Amino acid sequence: DMAYLKPDADFGRFNKILLIPLGVDNVEIKQPNTSSSINRHNQVWELTDEDKLKLQELFYEAMSKQLQEKGGYTLVTEPGEGILQVQARLLGIAPSAPKDDSRSRPIGRGAVYTEGAGAMSVGVVFANSQNGEILALMKDSRATNNNWGRNNSVSNLADVRQMFNSWALGIRKGLDKAHGK
């Protein structure tokens, strides 16, 4: 994980945020262990267009909740003066089990239990929306908890929400600090 902050960056001058949709193209996917009996069909784990839209939706929900509802920052749709552009990209995922779909987990196969959904990494660029000047960069990886539980689409979405909320909280706290909150 890494972070870069431009030495003279003044985030306190930004009260509005232009949140670019989460980048979900060219995501590196570390395939789950295919030697186990739960993945005997050896389906390649991939992100569908539906998956990508859901990830973008969940990321936006987490960011808007933290920045707008809890932080009091205004989210805008156009660049301009006093507007910070936040552009995140999903860099990689490492699922802990085969995808919860009919191709990867045949119906009637039984439940799959894992230590969480897996791990994800994101990169975030913070820039002045008016001139594109990069003010900060961040790359971070998160893994779900180590508690054993049922691995299915519901539990996986909950884990993804938790990771997105954690990143959004960290971003809001950083902005709050810059604003003396």
Q: Rounded to two decimals, what is the model's pTM? A: 0.81
The Cα–Cα gap between 90 and 98 comes to: 19
Place of tokens 């749709």: 77
Range of the domain at 149: 2-178
Task: Give the number of domains in the chain.
Answer: 1
Tell me: the pLDDT tens digits for 105-143? 455 556 655 555 678 899 999 999 999 999 999 999 987
The CATH number of residue 92's host domain is 3.40.50
89/20 Cα distance (integer angstroms): 10
Q: Give residue 49's Cα distance to chain centre.
A: 16
pLDDT at 147: 65
The packing angle between helices 49-64 and 153-178, to 10°, is 40
pLDDT, mean of residues 66-78: 96
